[in-house]
Amino acid sequence: MDNAAKIFPASLDSLEPIRDYVSKRCEVLGFNKKKTYGLCLAIDEIATNIINYGYPKAGIGLGIIEVHMADDARQLTVTLIDTAVAFDPLAHLVPNQDDMNKPLEDRPIGGLGILLARQNVDEFRYERRGDQNCNVFVVNVSS
C-alpha cells in the first residue's frame, strides 16, 4: 500500500494541478492513457462542482480540497475531501437516454459532469464524514 496526499486551494486554477498530481501517480502505476484520462476527468468534474457550487453555497470564500491517493496491487483509490455544503453526486439525476437523444440546443446543461464522473472510473462512492464530503474514485489496476 502506497499513500500520498496533497492540499489544493478550492479555486478553478487548481483543476490542472490536481489533474497533474493524479496523472503522475497513474504514470507510476503504468496506467494507459485512456484509464488515466478517465480518472482525471472524473476528478475534474467533482472538483469543479466543489469549487463552483459547494464552497460558495457554504459561504466560504476560499476553501480547500484534499486529494488523497492510496494504491495497492489491485487498485488506485483517490479521495477528494472538502468541507463545503453536503453534496452527494449520486443523489442527483444525470441525463437519461431521452436527454441524450435531444438536439444539442435542447439538451439540459446540468448533470453532464456528474455523468462523466460516474462513468469514467470503475467505482465511485460518496460519504459524508462529519462536516466533510468524501468523493471516492476507484480504478482497477488490471481493468
Partner 1 sequence: MGFNITSEITEGVAKLTLAGSLDSSSASMMQAEIQKVAAQSPTALVLYVSQLEFMSSAGLRMLIFAKQKLGTTVQIYIVQPQGQIVDTLQMTGIIHSVHIVDNYPA
CB 15 to partner 1: min, Å: 5
How far apart, in whole angstroms, are the C-alpha atoms of residue 143 and residue 140?
5
Candidates 29-37, 56-64, 80-88, 122-130; binding stretch for partner 1 (CB under 8 A): 29-37
Q: Are the beta carbons of 26 and 36 closer than 8 angstroms?
A: yes
Which of 56, 99, 122, 134: binder of partner 1 (CB under 8 A)?
99
SS3 28: helix
Q: Are the beta carbons of 128 and 88 closer than 8 angstroms?
A: yes
By CB under 8 A, tell whether 115 contacts partner 1: yes
Which of 44, 76, 124, 133: binder of partner 1 (CB under 8 A)?
44
By CB under 8 A, tell whether 107 contacts partner 1: yes
By CB under 8 A, tell whether 119 contacts partner 1: yes
How far apart, in whole angstroms, are the C-alpha atoms of residue 63 and residue 75?
29
